[in-house]
Amino acid sequence: MSSRPTLIKENGLRHDHRRPDELRPIKMEVGVLKNADGSALVEFGNTKVIAAVYGPREPPAKYMLSPEKAIVRCRYHMAPFSTIERKSPAPSRREIELSKVIREALESAIFTELFPRSAVDIFIEVLQADGGTRTAGLTAASLALADAGVPMRDLIAAVAVGKVDGVIVLDIDEVEDEYGEADMPVGMMPSLNQVVLLQLNGVMTREEFDAAMDLAMKGISEIYRLQKEALSKKYMLYTEE
């Protein structure tokens, strides 16, 4: 792309014909990997993320252990084929940072004190990136944890909001992220109304921030509903037999 695309068209719709407060089509599936204790596949439009959870289990090295709680290890990784230009498979600065913020968000939800001296391993692999991969990854990881039966306070639902051409929009994609003015991923435990992840890249006024937060909560409640539906679906299959 050589020139800057029009992000908000004259009729008020976005470059992909969405309304400013509209999510991309979302798909979720639980229990997609047999070897993992829990797994989930989440798609937000063209963004496609798979998450696998192992544990609580004995970690490979004893020095990492905590005598009072389970340690949570998290790896967020983008597959080399997930972007248009090949991404080096080595963990980048950005991936290491995202692994940390996602881990901290999940740690606040998991009852780690129930499994002292053990480890919970979470792997998030981005299969296709089109903006909002960290929020899709967090959403998938919390589903995978629920699928693994790890006790937690609530599922975590996450979505990115942003400001493009002066308009606050929900669930921004790659193009909007690149050419927009601000990008704000938000992760929440909706039942408890607690925020577990909040980052802001760009500039927003106080009023815009409030509007963006409201919009994020609206998107999150929809994502949360889909998460619960995806978890039920795994057990519905057997019921229908």
Residue (47 or 112) nearer to other proteins, CB: 112
Q: Which stretch binds other proteins (CB under 8 A): 20-28, 167-175, 211-219, 230-238?
A: 230-238
Residue (44 or 115) nearer to other proteins, CB: 115
Q: Determine, following the binding rule CB under 8 A, whether residue 56 of this chain makes contact with other proteins.
A: yes
Which residues, numbered 35-54, are part of the site for other proteins (CB under 8 A)? 37-38
Site string for other proteins, 105-124 (x = CB under 8 A): ------x---xxxxx-----
C-beta of 42: minimal distance to other proteins in Å?
A: 16
Residue (52 or 172) nearer to other proteins, CB: 52
Contacts of 135 (CB under 8 A, 6+ apart): 44, 158, 159, 160, 185, 186, 187, 197
Q: Which of 12, 67, 88, 90 binds other proteins (CB under 8 A)?
A: 67
Contacts of 172 (CB under 8 A, 6+ apart): 131, 132, 160, 161, 162, 164, 180, 183
DSSP secondary structure letters along 32-55? --SSSSEEEEEEETTEEEEEEEEE
120 residue type, one letter: V
Which residues, numbered 162-191, are part of the site for other proteins (CB under 8 A)? 189-191
C-beta of 1: minimal distance to other proteins in Å?
A: 41
Size of the site for other proteins (CB under 8 A): 35
CA 136 to CA 144: how far, in whole Å? 12
C-beta of 54: minimal distance to other proteins in Å?
A: 10
Whether the ω angle into residue 185 lies within 30 degrees of 0, i.e. cis, is: no
Contacts of 231 (CB under 8 A, 6+ apart): 30, 143, 146, 147
CA 43 to CA 140: how far, in whole Å? 9
Q: Quick one: which of 179, 158, 223, 215 has its CA closest to 21?
A: 215
CA 170 to CA 218: how far, in whole Å? 9
C-beta of 44: minimal distance to other proteins in Å?
A: 20
Q: Which stretch binds other proteins (CB under 8 A): 5-13, 75-83, 129-137, 141-149?
A: 141-149
Residue (32 or 211) nearer to other proteins, CB: 32
Residues making up the chain, counted from first to last: 241
Tokens representing residue 25 in the block: 């089509």
Q: Which of 9, 19, 27, 57 binds other proteins (CB under 8 A)?
A: 57
C-beta of 98: minimal distance to other proteins in Å?
A: 23
Q: In the complex, which residues of this chain contact other proteins (CB under 8 A)?
A: 37-38, 55-58, 67, 70, 111, 115-119, 146-155, 189-192, 228, 231-232, 235, 238-239, 241
